[in-house]
Amino acid sequence: MSSLEEPLGLGDLPKLSINRLERFSPSACRAGADDQNTSNYKHRNGGNNQTFFHSSAHSWHVQGHYADSSCNGLDMEFRALPRKVLLDLPRFVNIVEVGPRDGLQNEKSTVPTSVKIELIHKLVASGLSVVEATSFVSPKWVPQLADAKDVLEGIRHVPDVRFPVLTPNLRGFEAAVAAGAKEVAVFASASESFSKSNINCTIKESLARYRDVITSAKKHGIRIRGYVSCVVGCPVEGAIHPSKVAYVAKELYDMGCSEISLGDTIGVGTPGIDFVALCFQHVISWYQYLSLPFKTNFEASDDVSLFLRALQSQSINMLAHCMCEKGKHLLIADHIICSFNCWIFFFNATVLATYVIGTFTLLAILFVSGKVLAMLEAVLSFVPVDKLAVHFHDTYGQALANILVSLQMGINIVDSSVSGLGGCPYAKGATGNVATEDVVYMLHGLGIETNVDLNKLMDVGDYISNRLGRPSGSKTTTALHKLTT
């Protein structure tokens, strides 16, 4: 691994994970345990993979952990692995469950108030301590949440749980306070177009409205969460520049929001790559390439294969990090170049020029396209990391990867929705939030605590999915149900 990759720890993730997981896979460890006649692994596993998966452990990492004591000599290395590969992750992540609000707001048929209340009670019973309950918005705009007051009434006596509610203006705020809300959330956007379609005003106007709400909330001693929507992309405007997100986040934070949640409303974000680090990687490979003929003890096969490997690993990194349509032809060009005979490649100035120009074009595309890391870096210049939350929709299946890089950046508040329910009615094409079950599975797998009981949470997912008449949107639930039925 090049030292230039280390700050982000992204370059080596796939390689290391695959090698180590093979080495520490349950079967490998089980075989080791059997060889030594130790019953540790089997004992904890109960000799039953299904029980093991479903009730005792939630991921490969946890399985490896169970196998610690039976895999001689490897345990130390394995225990150090997550830190080594995944850098400093938080020990605890606070999950903000948004299912009852974000999850249900887009449902076409009316969900009975009693079901919403039951859903919230069940979510709390699974260990979630922050559940976004509803919205005090115009019922003309979001008819599904017209029963906001009744929902709050139904959860009024639940102790020690935060129930933020969305308020788009002073009117909504006053209604929420009258209904007993102790925490509210205001929601601005980094995209002008989305602001207009979602709350019918410009970003500037929305910030002025929220200033009034926040001033009033402070007087009442009410905690305020601030959302910024479209933090990487907008359904109308496309990629959103990180500086726009940073501006809105800063405004909300300076006004007095205690927490800023960054919403990838349409789920287009990818973790992104560090532009500078990638440039350095390329400069180094060009240097290696150009220095080949000047070496005195030139070992053709070794150096050529080293050079090809360097190029290939860059291509794989690029493929993994930028599968955007625009970049595809450049990636393909990269691969063709890699597979060329190195000597022909070396003397072919045209090919070299293509590679150089192609690389720069690709980097330019990457630089301007919306990426989560760049956006987080911009926001972190203005808002402290412990005041930030991330809110990913999973339209392109990128949410967990985005959450992981957010954790690596030091964020430890994650929004998610049970069963992957959700989507904003004013963000066309956007699917649900990342499923809370999948987030919990990943976090527990990384050894991060959440205080959430995954089994109970999956039952809640089943409850609401049954009521809505469709299967759960959680991959974890789907997989574990297949194992147990």
Ligand X SMILES: CC(C)(COP(=O)([O-])OP(=O)([O-])OC[C@H]1O[C@@H](n2cnc3c(N)ncnc32)[C@H](O)[C@@H]1OP(=O)([O-])[O-])[C@@H](O)C(=O)NCCC(=O)NCCSC(=O)C[C@@](C)(O)CC(=O)[O-]
SS3 248: helix
Residues lying near ligand X in the complex (CB under 6 A): 102, 105, 135-138, 140-142, 166, 168-169, 171-172, 175, 187, 198-200, 227, 229, 263, 265, 391, 424, 426
Q: Token pair of 96, please?
A: 């903000």
H helices present in 230-348, as ranges: 242-255, 275-291, 300-321, 325-339, 342-347
Q: Token pair of 58, please?
A: 């939630």
| CB closer to ligand X out of 42 and 387 | 387
| CB closer to ligand X out of 172 and 445 | 172
Distance, CA of 14 to CA of 317 (rounded, Å):
9
Q: Could you tell me if 171 and 150 are in contact, meaning their C-beta atoms sit under 8 angstroms apart?
A: no
The 10 Å Cβ neighbour count of residue 215 is 12
Contacts of 366 (CB under 8 A, 6+ apart): 272, 273, 275, 278, 321, 322, 327
Q: Token pair of 88, please?
A: 């400093």
| CB closer to ligand X out of 42 and 149 | 149
Residue 424 designated active-site: yes
CA angle 272-276-282, nearest 5°? Answer: 100
Which residue's Cβ lies closest to ligand X? 263
Tell me how far, at minimum, the Cβ of 178 lies from ligand X, in Å: 12
| CB closer to ligand X out of 136 and 253 | 136
Tell me how far, at minimum, the Cβ of 425 lies from ligand X, in Å: 6
In the sheet that holds 413-416, the strands lie side by side as 130-131, 94-97, 413-416, 388-392, 259-264, 223-229, 183-189, 165-166, 134-135
Tell me how far, at minimum, the Cβ of 105 lies from ligand X, in Å: 6
| CB closer to ligand X out of 147 and 334 | 147
Tell me how far, at minimum, the Cβ of 261 lies from ligand X, in Å: 7
Residue 454 corresponds to which amino acid? L
Tell me how far, at minimum, the Cβ of 301 lies from ligand X, in Å: 53
Residues with active-site annotation? 424
